[in-house]
């Protein structure tokens, strides 16, 4: 994947920086003689356009410019690569993941970009993260989803704590649970896995994008695969997008 950096100086008041990864998604492996009865991961050559303007970063998905403000005060309030990869995938593979009219939960929503893209694609989204991230998250989401059919919700969620009280499983049911770069160097991986299990009811699919950086990524992935029936939707080197359902319900123990 090549990264091309282009600078556009059309406006003296704006510093415009374009970052491109030339991308083309090949969804038909049969042409290369790779027929299989199982779903085969497509090659994910993710791309994004990034523009810095007046203290905000502008991304372009679903035919719309999306203005994102970051905060250096929290890991959760900055843009991470897997969020960009997941947004690109959702935007360009609507035939594989159709979010139109679906009920969606995002874990670790951060800046809110994935939630915004899912909302623009027609989903009814609840974006969750820690309380100290919510102010910036809510501002980004509200700024970029005006006119969406479903107004996205923003709510606090601490992984692994008071899940049934705060999000009762009898009420909080989702078609998709989205997560991007939620596995990083922190001490709450068991709580994250417990949270994923809590929200995955019969009919729920997790879509999790992750860039491997540490050994903990590999350990979590192995534990994740033990709990969930997992396949790789798309990949590009160490960047992978997983699709998963909870094994507990596939065995008929609802």
Q: What is the CATH number of the domain that holds 193?
A: 3.40.50.150
Neighbours of 165 (CB within 10 A): 7
Q: SS3 letters for the chain? A: CCEEEEEECCCCCCCEEEEEECCCCCCCHHHHCCCCCCCCCEECCCCCCCEEECCEEEEEECCEEEEECCCCCCHHHCCCHHHHHHHHHHHHCCCCCCCCCCEEEEECCCCCHHHHHHHHCCCEEEEEECHHHHHHHHHHHHHHCCCCCCCCEEEECCCCCCHHHHCCCCCCCCCEEEEECCCCCCCCHHHHHHHHHHHCCCCCEEEEEEECCCHHHHHHHHHHHHHEEEEEEEEECCEEEEEEEEHHHHCCCC
Q: pLDDT-based confidence at 71, cuts 50/70/90?
A: confident
* Both tokens assigned to 201: 């009811």
- Residues 167-196, mean pLDDT to the nearest whole number: 93
Is 133 contained in some domain?
yes
From 106, 101, 173, 91, select the one nearest 137 (Cα to Cα). Answer: 106
Quick one: angle between helices 189-199 and 215-227, nearest 10? 30
Confidence of residue 17 (pLDDT cuts 50, 70, 90): very low
Lowest mean per-residue pLDDT among 45-59, 205-219, 238-252:
45-59
Identify the band that residue 44 occupies on the pLDDT scale cut at 50, 70 and 90: low
Radius of gyration, alpha carbons of the chain: 18
Q: Give the mean pLDDT of 229-247.
A: 94
Domain housing 111? 74-250
17 found inside a domain? no
- By CB atoms closer than 10 A (0-12, 13-18, 19+), residue 183 is buried
Q: Confirm if 41 and 232 have CB atoms less than 8 A apart.
A: yes
Count how many domains the chain has: 1
**Is residue 113 in a domain?**
yes
Q: What is the pLDDT of residues 98-153, one digit of tens each?
A: 999 999 999 999 999 999 999 999 999 999 999 999 999 999 999 999 999 999 99
Minimum mean pLDDT among 54-63, 74-83, 122-131: which range? Answer: 74-83
- For residue 202, being part of any structural domain is answered with yes
Residue 42: pLDDT band with limits 50, 70, 90: low
52 within some domain: no
Taking alpha carbons only, the member of 117, 114, 138 closest to residue 63 is 117
Q: What is the pLDDT of residue 241?
A: 97
Q: 3: pLDDT confidence band, cut at 50, 70 and 90?
A: very low
The answer to whether residue 9 is domain-embedded is no
Q: What are phi and psi of 99, to 5 degrees?
A: -90, -5
Is pLDDT above 80 for 243? yes
Q: What is the tens place of the pLDDT at every residue in 29-40?
A: 333 333 333 455
**pLDDT greater than 50 at residue 163:** yes
CA dihedral sign of residues 195, 196, 197, 200: positive
Whether 97 shows a pLDDT value over 90: the answer reads yes
For position 41, what pLDDT does the model report? 59
Residue 162 resides in a domain: yes
| Burial track 19-54 (b if 16+ CB lie within 10 A, e otherwise) | eebeeebeeeeeeeeeeeeeebbbebbbbbebbeee
Residue 105 forms part of a structural domain: yes
Nearest to 149 by CA among 101, 194, 182, 203: 101
Q: How do residues 191-222 score in pLDDT, each as one tens digit? A: 999 999 999 999 999 999 999 888 888 999 99
């Amino acid at each position: 994947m090549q990264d091309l950096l282009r600078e556009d100086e059309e406006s003296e008041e704006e510093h415009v920086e374009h970052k491109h990864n030339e991308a083309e998604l090949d969804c038909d492996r049969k042409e290369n003689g790779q027929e299989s009865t199982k779903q085969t991961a497509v090659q994910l050559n993710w791309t994004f356009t990034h523009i810095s303007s007046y203290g905000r970063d502008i991304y372009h998905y679903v035919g719309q410019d999306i203005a994102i403000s970051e905060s250096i005060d929290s890991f959760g309030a900055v843009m991470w690569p897997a969020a960009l990869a997941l947004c690109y995938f959702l935007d360009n593979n609507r035939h594989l993941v159709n979010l139109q009219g679906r009920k969606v939960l995002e874990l670790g929503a951060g800046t809110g970009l994935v939630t915004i893209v899912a909302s623009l694609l027609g989903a009814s989204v609840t974006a969750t993260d820690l309380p100290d991230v919510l102010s910036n998250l809510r501002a980004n989401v509200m700024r970029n989803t005006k006119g969406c059919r479903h107004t996205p919700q923003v709510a606090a969620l601490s992984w692994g704590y008071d899940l049934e009280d705060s999000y009762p499983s009898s009420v909080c049911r989702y078609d998709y649970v989205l997560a991007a770069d939620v596995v990083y160097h922190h001490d709450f991986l068991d709580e994250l896995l417990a949270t994923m299990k809590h929200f995955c009811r019969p009919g729920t699919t997790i879509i999790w994008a992750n860039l491997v950086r540490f050994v903990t990524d590999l350990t979590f992935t192995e534990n994740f695969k033990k709990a969930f029936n997992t396949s790789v939707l798309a990949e590009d080197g160490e960047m992978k997008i997983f699709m998963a359902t909870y094994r507990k319900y596939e065995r008929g123990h609802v």
